Structure 1
Amino acid sequence: MLSDFKCLHALIIVRDGVESNDDQELPSSFGELIHLRCLDISGIRIKCLPDSIGELYHLQTFRASYVLEKMPNTTKHLTSLRHLHIPQIELPPEIGRLISLRTLPYFVVGDEKGCGIGELGSLKNLRGELDNYNLEKVHSKEEAESANLSQKQDIVQLMLRWSTENREGENCDESVLEGLQPHPNLRILRIGGFSGKRFPSWFSNLSGLNNLTMIMIARCKECEQVPTLGHLPNLKSILLRGLDNVQTIGSLFYGIDDNCSSTSSNRVSKTVFPALVRLELQGMPKLTEWLEAELPSAVDNQELVAFPRLEYLEVHGCEQLMSVPSHFPCLKELNIIALDSELPFTSICGIKLNSLTELQIYSIDGLTCLPDWLLSNNQNLRKLAISYCNNLTHLVPRLEGAGVSLRDLFIYNCPKLRELPDDLHSLNALEKLNITGCPNLETIPYPHEMMESSLESLTLKGLTNLRNMEMVIGWYCSNKMPRLSTLILDVPMMNMITTNSSSLSEITAGSSSSGHDSSLRYLSIDSTRCDEYSNSFVDAILKASTKSLNILSLAGNNCDDQSSGYLPDQIQHLTALSKLFLHDLGNIQEFPEWFGNNNSFSSSLQLLHINNCKKLRHLPSKEAMLHLTKLSYLAVGRCPLLNLKKIREISDDDDSEWPKISHIPEVYEDGNQIPTHAQ
């Protein structure tokens, strides 16, 4: 058939619409399409190509899918090929004969003849992106230079990667990297697995990488110094990751030496990292000091400016770090993670810092509180997240008007946190408040109406000593949180009761008399105790959310107390409820009669998920289940006494609940789909 299309210039093969995982083959007669310029087989599953592909001497573009495993050795004859789009597989030998190539996304150095780095030398027209793998198989600077990377002016994105497996003893990585100097037009450079101790001289060449905008150096475990980068005028992003042996970041990084003096009698300004916007230091376990950028003491007619445009800084996994620079005039986002000492954090957040908009603090053992000036100086701070700071006892004593722009406040797993600022109510723009895993926190300061009106999401979980939970619930039930759409509570209810015995009745009365239109869409309550207070609070919240609540998740603790089988009656009045999740209701044996018999609830529920209710034997009656007219998805997990097996005609299984669910389109038990009539 192919003989009828010998003049074809472009061929795109797509699947016939029938899903199949079967592999397909191209006929050897493909070589007859000698006029073909473009061949695209990315739409079909082809693992291997026939040798006759090498006869397509005019082919300019070839594209294959991820299934392709091998290119034939005859590929070297495709001398007109310009664009090669294939998955990362072993390239055929003598790829260097394809002198017209412009697009070669990667090159894997091999040991076989015709697979060395020198194959790149003749590919003078390469452009765009080039990723190089297995550079440990390059053995000298001269061999590396044979790739002629320094002459490939159209390569703008380059990756140089060494394998880190089974590499012990001496290596020649330093000389190889010296020979892989790229063209000055390069914009993005990634280096991975390099095992040299120092980076090559071309990093510090004043004009060698002037167009570079982004550099990533990762998993270079033997490096003892970071490269010189401060002089690069267009560098916007730096990521240094996994430099295990680096102990100090200092003058070499900035590109400052003793030759900085100026012949001018006037004071001259010198800027390092003039365009840098993003800087990340990750996984540098031996790093102890990151020094300030300073001119040599002999220079007295210059002033130094460092990081004038830096907006994002991340310091992650530098456990021994003790000192960092303190001047970041434009810093907006700071992520500081997994440090032993609080000193780097307090240094970065010095008294002069006033530009922060987002701050994330994670696992800083030495941190007991925030700097007093942090919030007051950074009036544009929108997000503050503090997690796993084991010794944090408080944020700041008082906000005193600070934090006026704060929208998100997250505090996770700070076991010694005792108190929040007394004037938390001054956060009048706060939209999300999440406090989780702080067992020593006893109270949440009563909010001012301004904060109440802005709050959209409230999460209080793992606060085992919180004493004023009934107050929080009262705020909502009394319509003092009109914008609240998400409420997540996970606390032991008995501990939340203050000495005010009238609190419960006031909350219940407030929820029944307020008559307000709630905005609450998602409610999750995990009660770690089973008691009348817990049940009453749940009822009060549900009563205040009758017309708005869309998703409800209720969890108990599988205790043997009779109340652990309690399913709130108020659920039947939730007219907008579409998804209901029930977990760990240890004493529930069957659903109440009202489940499925109420028109408003029955006509809205679409998904029901029941999990770990170990005594549950019966679903609602078949009639009640049929009243759930929109229920299309039922999932049951870890309910060993609930029998959902399909009743066969030849059996008589009176205990099976299958007839009650046979009309539901999707039913799952412990992750396995159960066949129903609706499928």
Structure 2
Amino acid sequence: MVVIHGYFGRCLPNWLNLGATLPNLRDIDIVECACFEVLPMLGQLPNLHRLVIRGAFSVERVGEEFMQGDTKSKDPIVQTISGSARPAFPKLNSLSVQEMPNWKEWQWNKGQPAMPKLKELFIQTCPELRSLPEGLLLLATSLEFLQIFSADKLITLENIPSIKDIRVVSNPNLARISNLPSIGHIYIENCPNLKDVTNPKALRTMVLGDYEMEFLPDYLTTIMVHKLIIWCDEELLLKIVNQEESGSEWNKFKHISKVKIGTEDESLHATYQKTPFSFTTNVNASSDEV
């Protein structure tokens, strides 16, 4: 494992050729290298499994210097048996990018094969990032888990065929999640402008958490999920309980097989089952409408 922490240069020095000197390297952490203007080209590392980049505050764009494979190298480590260049990051399994406040663009076009074995992608506190790159959507065919936290400019998440588990937290402008045909689990927390979640057939569980929402989102009416878990404030929970089956909030989830609703500390909660019908709660339904 290599940790590069607090390096003050604008890029890694030329003499530090990790691909040549450490061909068996599996883990790299690049932490608080605040002066980096570009990320180092690490795609040539043949056995890199895990990469964490945190606190590269000066990076505004991630492009070819990071994503491309070493197509010019004569080193057999970099070449496939057939002689053609292999993809960048050929064995990368987990990628985590955190605390990059000025990162606006990730350029990875569909003509750059890379990350064929990537299974987990974590993006956290990257408020200027506007979208995921085309190459990731088309070429990272093993990607199963995606977590995005505090990407303020992100508007859509769509067209990722292999994804099975997605978690979106504190993305204030996220408006649409769609075309995720293999998705089984969705976790949504504090995404107040999310209006459209396309119904994937494989969806088993959805968790929705927002302690400021006054009403349940309308997209729940089109979601065919086996189990729905909702975390909300006491006011909304009381509203649902007092409305019973005839209320507008009930109409948004009563088609779902199992529903659990609770407050943050779980002191108040309710459970619903469609068939056979049951509804239980520890809330005393009040005659006063909330």
Instruction: Output the TM-score relative to the length of structure 2.
Output: 0.75
Of Structure 1 and Structure 2, the greater strand share is in 2
1:240 aligns with 2:39: no
1:311 to 1:414, Cα distance in 2 relative to 1, 3 A? farther
Q: 1:390 aligned to 2:192?
A: yes
Identity %: 21
Within a 5 Å distance, the mapping from 1:5-154 to structure 2 comes to none
Residue in 2 that maps onto 1:221: 34
Matched with 2:78 is none
Structure 1 range deviating more: 267-276 or 309-318:
267-276
C-alpha distance in 1, partners of 2:284/2:7? Answer: 48
The aligned counterpart of 2:104 is: 288
Residues 494 and 206 of structure 1, relative CA distance in 2, 3 Å threshold: same
Equivalents in 2 of 1:335, 1:406: separation in Å? 18
Contact 2:152–2:172, Cα closer than 8 Å, also in 1? yes
Offset at residue 229 of structure 1 (A): 0.7
Distance 1:320 1:276 in 2: 25
1:480 matched to 2:282? The reply is no
Report if the CA contact (8 A) 1:394-1:418 is conserved.
no
> Counterpart of 1:422 in 2: which secondary structure?
helix
One of 331, 335, 343 as aligned partner of 2:147: 335
Counterpart in 2 of 1:447? 254
Q: Contact 1:316–1:337 (CA<8 Å) still a contact in 2?
A: yes
Change (3 A) 1:446 1:232: closer
Report whether the alignment pairs 1:410 with 2:208.
yes
Measured in 1, the distance between the counterparts of 2:284 and 2:32 equals 41
- Measured against aligned partners, the alpha-carbon deviations of 1:246-304 in whole angstroms (never above 9, x if no partner) come to 1111122135578379xxxx99453111000000110001111111057xxxxxxxx64
1:596-635 → structure 2 map (5 Å cutoff): none
Partner of 1:436: 232
- Using the TM superposition, give the Cα deviation of residue 210 of structure 1 relative to its aligned residue in structure 2, in angstroms: 0.9
Q: Contact (CA 8 Å) 1:331, 1:355: kept in 2 or not?
A: yes
| 8 A Cα contact 1:216 1:240, kept in partner | yes
Contact 1:363 1:389 in 2 (8 A): yes
Change (3 A) 1:293 1:207: farther
Residue number in structure 1 paired with 2:244: none
- Structure 2: segments with no counterpart, 5+ residues: 75-81, 241-247, 265-269
Asked if the contact 2:44–2:70 (Cα under 8 Å) also holds between the matched residues in 1, the reply is no
CA distance in 1, matches of 2:10, 2:286: 55
Q: Counterpart amino acid of 1:391?
A: N
Distance 1:488 1:404 in 2: 32
- The residue that corresponds to 2:88 in the other structure is 272
**CA shift in 2, pair 1:495/1:276, >3 Å:** farther
Q: How far is 1:421 from its partner?
A: 3.0
The SS at the match of 2:220 is coil
Shift of residue 480, structure 1, vs aligned partner: 2.8
User: Is residue 251–residue 293 contact of structure 1 (8 Å, CA) maintained in 2?
Assistant: no
Confirm whether residue 320 of structure 1 aligns to residue 128 of structure 2.
yes
Let me know the Cα RMSD of the aligned residues. 3.6
> Aligned partners of 1:364 and 1:387: how far apart in 2?
8
Structure ranking higher on relative contact order (CA contacts 8 Å, 6+ apart): 2
1:124-157 per-residue CA deviation (whole Å, 9 max, x = no partner) reads xxxxxxxxxxxxxxxxxxxxxxxxxxxxxxxxxx
Q: State the secondary structure of the residue aligned to 2:257.
A: helix
Q: Relative to structure 1, is the Cα distance of residues 493 and 257 closer, same or farther in structure 2, using a 3 angstrom cutoff?
A: farther
Distance 2:71 2:145 in 1: 33
Q: Of residues 261, 273, 283 in structure 2, which corresponds to 1:459?
A: 261
Is contact 1:204–1:228 with CA below 8 Å preserved after alignment? no
The answer to whether the Cα contact below 8 Å between 1:203 and 1:227 also exists between their aligned partners in 2 is no
- Supply the AA of the counterpart residue of 1:194: Y
- CA 1:382–1:190 in structure 2 vs 1: closer, same or farther (change >3 Å)? same
